[in-house]
Amino acid sequence: MRFPSRERAKITRSRGPKQHDRHFQPENWPTLLQFLSATGLRRQEVHDLHVRDILERDGRVLVHVANGKGGRGRDVPVLPGREGDVLAVRSGRDPDEAVFTRIPGHLDVHSYRREFAQALYLYHAPGRDLPSATGRLKPSDYDRAAAQRVTEALGHNRIDVVLRHYINTVMALSINGTCRLPESLAASYQSLATSMPFTRITGSDKGHTMRIQPVGFAHV
C-alpha cells in the first residue's frame, strides 16, 4: 500500500493560532515557556525531567533526556544565550525533584519545539535563511551540518523530517534576508546578543523582525 506524499507547505501542526490557544495564558507560565524555547523538549520529555538531568559539562549547559521517543536517550544542548533560563530552574532544588510538576494541557509544546529548532539552525548557519517550505530542496538550499545538529538535538534520526516539520519559512517568513518571527523566538535571538558578535541591535521591544547577516543576527 502506498500513502500519498506530504508536501511541506501543507503540514500545519503548530503553525499559526489554534483553537486551544484561547484557553492558555502564557503570561502565567514564563519559566516553563522559557525552558521549552531554550531546549526544544517534547511534552513527555519535560514531564519526565528531574533536576539532576540539567547538566554543566565542558562549559556547556545540557539537558539529559533519559527516555525519549523510541526509548532513546540523548543530551540536548541548551540554545546558546539561554543557559540562564535553564539553570534557574535547577538552583537550590533537590536533584531528584521533578523540574515541572504541571504542564498545561492547552499548551502547544510543539510550537516551542519548532522555535528552538529554528533558532538553533540559524545559530549554526549564520548568514543563511531558513529553508523554503515549498518545492523540492536542493543541497544548496540549506546548511546540512546545521540541520544535522538540530536533528540530533530534537531526537530525530532523519534530516528530511526536521526540514519538513521544523526548520522552514512557513512559520518564519523569509523575505529578502529578513525572517519574521513569533515573539518568543525573537526573544531567543535578543538574548543571544550577549554571546554573539552582533553588528547592531535596533528596532522595537517586541522584536518580531530579525535580519540575518554574515557575522550574526541583528534587529531591524
Q: Does the residue 140 lie in any domain? A: no
Q: Does the residue 37 lie in any domain? A: yes
Q: What is the mean pLDDT of residues 41-47?
A: 97
Q: Does the residue 145 lie in any domain? A: no
Q: How far is CA 35 from CA 90, 102, 212, in A?
A: 11, 13, 24
Q: Does the residue 40 lie in any domain? A: yes
Distance CA 143, CA 139 (A): 8
Grid cell for residue 190 = 535578543
Q: What is the mean pLDDT of residues 203-210?
A: 39
Grid cell for residue 152 = 540530533
Distance CA 208, CA 101 (A): 31
In degrees rounded to 5, what are phi and psi of residue 178?
A: -110, 130
Q: Does the residue 196 lie in any domain? A: no
Question: Which residues span the domain enclosing 78?
Answer: 24-87
For residue 169, give the nearest of 216, 202, 201, 122 by alpha carbon.
Answer: 122
Which is higher by pLDDT, 21 or 113? 113
Grid cell for residue 205 = 521591544
Asked if residue 21 has pLDDT above 50, the reply is: no
Q: Does the residue 54 lie in any domain? A: yes
Distance CA 62, CA 217 (A): 23
Asked if residue 16 has pLDDT above 50, the reply is: no
Q: What is residue 5's predicted lDDT score, i.e. its pLDDT?
A: 53
Q: What average pLDDT does the structure give for the chain? A: 77
Q: What is residue 186's predicted lDDT score, i.e. its pLDDT?
A: 52
Please say whether the beta carbons of 219 and 190 come within 8 A: yes
Q: Does the residue 75 lie in any domain? A: yes
Q: How far is CA 68 from CA 48, 119, 199, in A?
A: 10, 21, 38
Q: Give the list of residues 6+ apart from residue 3 with CB closer than 8 angstroms, or none.
A: none
Q: Does the residue 139 lie in any domain? A: no
Q: What is residue 7's predicted lDDT score, i.e. its pLDDT?
A: 53
Number of domains, the chain: 1
Asked if residue 109 has pLDDT above 50, the reply is: yes
Which is higher by pLDDT, 20 or 25? 25
Rounded to two decimals, what is the model's pTM? Answer: 0.70
